[in-house]
Amino acid sequence: MADFDRVDMVATFRRLALLGGDAIMEVYGRDDFGVRAKSDESPVTEADEAADKVISEGLRAAFPDIPLVTEEQSDTHNQSVSTFLIVDPLDGTKEFVQRRGDFTVNIALVEGGVPTLGVVFAPAKGRLFYTSGTGDSVEETGDFDKDIPGALSPLCVGAPNNEALRIVASKSHRSPELEAYIDRYAVADSVAAGSSLKFCLVAVGEADFYPRLGPTMEWDTAAGDAILRGAGGEVADRGTLGPLAYGKADFRNPHFLAYARGVDLKPE
């Protein structure tokens, strides 16, 4: 693999995420999204495909020696890798179709099975989060110029109170199993959010704990995982409580727990 500058890589991720967001919002403004079902019955829209095109073409041009995995081209990925780029061009398609705004563009680098760099852009919410390339994470505010970053605020998870936890969970994938798991904790506040924004809410200290007891793929989680780790949080395999691993042959995640350090995880 060719050497790369990590700061330059994040700048490229940022620019492509913003371009992907533009493509998504162009479709979002229409009356018809062109929704159809994929082979797994999940929805896909013209926005997913337009964002995937601009992002994947940009990444292949910038980093031709690094393998690329994207959700919309997932049928071409059939072998495990340890270091690769991974993209979900529109995470939260259900939120997009229902015009709820909680959808994101996710771009990440995984190295040795660990997500190390990532960008999460929520174009309808006007929120942009990313790793800095030097080990920490930031949120950017401003006009989101493609080439000149705006003001940056460092991200740091909160100090959780295990007698009054703030939990964030999925809007579209609640289940009795998840509700029963959450009931094991002392919860002061529970909010619903879509897509990888849930990782970012923990990273900025707006929530303490994001348990996910349902199906996800690595492209759903890698960018948010990298950002949360850079903010001092953790993402653990629910079964082992070890770090969530990436580069599996089918790119499927086990159930996982994303949290601020200090959350007292309940044993199985």
pLDDT beyond 70 at 40 = no
- Here the contacts of 134-141 (C-beta below 8 Å, separation 24 or greater) are 134/6, 134/7, 135/230, 136/230, 136/231, 137/203, 137/226, 137/227, 137/228, 137/229, 137/230, 137/231, 139/200, 139/204, 140/14
Find out whether 244 and 221 touch, Cβ atoms under 8 Å.
Answer: yes
| Cα(26)–Cα(46) distance, integer angstroms | 10
**What pLDDT is recorded for position 37?**
61
pLDDT in tens, 89-112: 999 988 888 888 999 999 999 999
- Within the chain, all domains assigned CATH 3.30.540.10 are found at 6-154
Kindly indicate the confidence band of residue 188, based on its pLDDT and cuts at 50, 70 and 90. very high
Report pLDDT for 1. Answer: 46
- Classify strands 104-111 and 114-122 as parallel, antiparallel or unpaired: antiparallel
User: Among 180, 173, 196, 190, which Cα is nearest to 103's?
Assistant: 196
When pLDDT is cut at 50, 70 and 90, the band that residue 134 belongs to is confident
pLDDT (mean) for 232-245? 95
Domain 165-260 has CATH 3.40.50.300: no
CATH number belonging to domain 6-154: 3.30.540.10
Distance, in Å, from the CA atom of 200 to the CA atom of 202, rounded to the nearest integer, reads: 5
In the chain, ranges of CATH 3.40.190.80 domains: 165-260
Residue 86 half-sphere exposure toward CB, CA atoms < 13 A: 32
pTM of the complete model beyond 0.75: yes
